[in-house]
Amino acid sequence: MSDSTENLMVVPSKKQKNNYQPNLITESRQMFTALEKNIVVMIINQLTIRYFEKSQPLFPNQNVEFLIPFAELSKSRNYSEIERAAKSLQLKQQGFAFTNEKGERYFKYMIPFPLVENLMSKGKMCLKITMFSGAVPYYTELGKTWTSYDYEVMRSLGSLYSKRVYEILMSHYRSDTFTYEVDHLRHILNVPETFKYFDFTRKCLDVANSEIKEKTGIEFTYEPVKKEGKRVTRLKFTKKTPLSQIESEVDASREYIQKMPIGEAVALAWQWFAGYTLNEAQKAAITDSSDKLETFLRIHTEVASGKRKNVKNATAYMVKSLGIENVKVKRKETTPKSTTPRRTGTPKAISSIIGTMSLFQPEE
């Protein structure tokens, strides 16, 4: 039991429309059932709210406790089902793995929710869940890449594969196409080893595609792009998103960007600068102005999502939109020595390097 209420979060004190989670969570292997996944989704929603309100790293080296009324978990008040989920949730493992540029493989496996119990609070039977302090950073440090998805849509999806594929689709919402190694995709979706390729596509991908299309309008196709003999080893996914969904996601991203701590917004801008040919003075003009920084992040999101169409030259479009076409690196004169002719030189550009906590990157 915690001696403080600071790390006790009651669900649902508030609800955030969209959940935000690190891509590391999206790409992790999750062994939850559909009901357990809904519990985790509710927990992430509360962490998202706390992140926006506090604008700082959450709960350093602390376990975090969540209080969830049974009524929030089961409309039919099926308490035996909730008890079964509670019993198995505290045993479920989550795995993170990646291979670095040197080919060295690293991994971490943990049980995020080691303690689950029920108790009566204000006349309501509740589930009290303790989140392991070592797992908290993996769920709260958004860093440079994150997944945003609609909270209610996620909860409404019935199939566990639909929930997981929906997460993956939303992590790639800026791209219409993306690829996955079949073995990696099966691994993170926790597909039974007994499933052949046909079972995997029919019972996992096709079921998810049908339900996601029904609930959101988003649909996808997939095709083999690499084989080893007759064995399909890589799939290419093509995603089709209705304009209304694009606008919804752009609005959600705008809301997130507006609430983002300034240091994290600057770090994100530096990451996205890689897609443009900007000089150092233009970069500085963007990061030194909160208005230009917010505009840069917003325009980038709208272009990347497809809301702004027919952008042929992203750099030219961006600098014109920001009014920084004529911003150039200033040449600085050096102080001349009395015995030498006066000359000028170009100083070395100095960039502010802002890092974010990078725990693990998803395996390619």
Three-state secondary-structure class, residue 161: helix
Q: Is residue 190 part of a domain?
A: yes
Three-state secondary-structure class, residue 69: strand
Residues 238 and 265 in one domain: no
Residues 35 and 124 in one domain: yes
Residues 105 and 216 in one domain: no
Residue carrying structure tokens 């790639």: 172
DSSP type of residue 37? H
Higher pLDDT pick, 23 / 11: 23
Residues 222 and 291 in one domain: no
pLDDT score for 358: 34
Q: Is residue 345 part of a domain?
A: no
Lowest mean pLDDT segment, chosen from 28-42, 233-247, 275-289: 233-247
Residues 203 and 162 in one domain: yes
Whole-model pTM above 0.85? Answer: no
Sign of CA dihedral 256, 270, 178, 309: positive
Structural domain range at position 321: 260-337
Name the domain count of the chain. 3
Residues 21 and 92 in one domain: yes
The string of pLDDT tens digits covering residues 310-348 is 788 889 999 999 999 888 877 655 555 544 444 444 333
CATH number of residue 170's parent domain: 1.10.10.10
The CA distance from 11 to 18, in Å, is 15
Q: Is residue 147 part of a domain?
A: no
Q: Is residue 288 part of a domain?
A: yes
Kindly give the pairing relationship between strand 64-69 and strand 8-10: parallel
Q: Is residue 122 part of a domain?
A: yes
Tell me the mean pLDDT in the region 88-93: 91
106: tokens are: 């690293």
Q: Is residue 343 part of a domain?
A: no
Residues 60 and 191 in one domain: no
